[in-house]
Amino acid sequence: MIQLLPIGEDVRLETLDELSAGLAREYRDSCHVRDDRLDVSFAFDSVRKQYHATSILRYLAGISGEARILGVTTVDLCVPIFTFVFGEAQVAGRAAVVSMHRLREEFYGLRANPTLLSERLLKEAVHELGHTFGLRHCQDWQCAMASSHTIDRLDLKGTRLCRTCRGAAGVNGR
């Protein structure tokens, strides 16, 4: 079971519902949106004006239960060695987090594109959840597990796992 946890006030429920449907399809697992909402002011770095992804993961991993938990946020995430991350996950753990901050066309000075935003969010969520299933980065450039630290690379790949990754994650074929 996968649970989606909104982080911050401006993650819309419709966004989460749509994402939840996409993830349930890709992972052939049940996916629910949690009723609670997480305040991550504890992870704020006042110098970088960003939020530490790893602190958020640690919090998510501490939530009791068996389900995988994917935090979804609009705040900008970072880790010490990168200026930003689209998301982060515990490899073979329970927790993952994705940010829409840099998935929005507006971030790059372009006009809003809701369809593109949903697609990018699904890709990034499939990717980070893939890590929780123990998957590492994939050499297949179309696979959602291909590494992508820039928006161009993210746009290049697909929303789905390749056959090899699907097998490794224990997701049944289709």
Contacts with Zn ion by CB under 5 A lie at 138, 140, 143, 145, 162, 165
33 or 93, CB closer to Zn ion? Answer: 93
Spatial separation of the C-alpha atoms in residues 45 and 150, rounded to whole Å? 22
Active site residue 119: no
Q: What is the secondary structure of 57-91 as a DSSP string? A: HHHHHTS-SSSEEEEEESSPEEETTEEEESEEE-T
Choosing from 26, 88, 124, 128, the catalytic residue is 128
Spatial separation of the C-alpha atoms in residues 124 and 166, rounded to whole Å? 16
Question: Minimal distance in Å, beta carbon 153 to Zn ion?
Answer: 11
129 or 165, CB closer to Zn ion? Answer: 165
Question: Minimal distance in Å, beta carbon 6 to Zn ion?
Answer: 22
22 or 130, CB closer to Zn ion? Answer: 130
Tokens for 86, please give them. Answer: 């689209």
Contacts of 167 (CB under 8 A, 6+ apart): none
Question: Minimal distance in Å, beta carbon 64 to Zn ion?
Answer: 26
Residues marked as catalytic: 128
